[in-house]
Amino acid sequence: MIGLTNIGFENFRVFDGYSEFDLKPITLLTGPNSSGKSSVLKAFQLLKNGFTNNDLQILDFSTNRHHLGNFEDVLNTFSDSDKMTFVFGVELFAGKEDEERIESEFYFNGK
């Protein structure tokens, strides 16, 4: 069974530098306002479409469930970069220590 073990972001909403979160069977997101709790949840909603469509190279902003707007809206406001990075740790087989890392970079193309 495949399962996510961690997720990381760079240049996504409040995450200017790279931030990574371990995912366990029960994961609690706590912190002060504007610390990124909602951003983590919205990232899962945004990326769910990529997994559903089997294409992690395209972010689908056409759905309004995540209320993120468009690609330019989710880039960190303090960054000059037009690149956003997501990193996934994936456990390929339950009970095995083997872990695979998947990294996807998305670029704003001005459209």
Band (105; pLDDT cuts 50, 70, 90): low
Q: And the tokens for 99? A: 């872990």
49-95 per-position pLDDT tens digit: 766 666 666 777 766 677 888 888 889 999 888 888 888 887 776 65
State the greatest distance between any 2 C-alpha atoms of the chain, in Å, as a whole number.
44
Contact criterion met (CB below 8 Å) for 7 and 40: yes
Q: And the tokens for 1? A: 């069974």
pLDDT at 43 over 60: yes
Mean pLDDT of 100-104: 62
Q: Which of 75, 76, 84 is nearest to 104 (CA)?
A: 84
DSSP state of 94: T
> Token match 């990381």: residue?
8
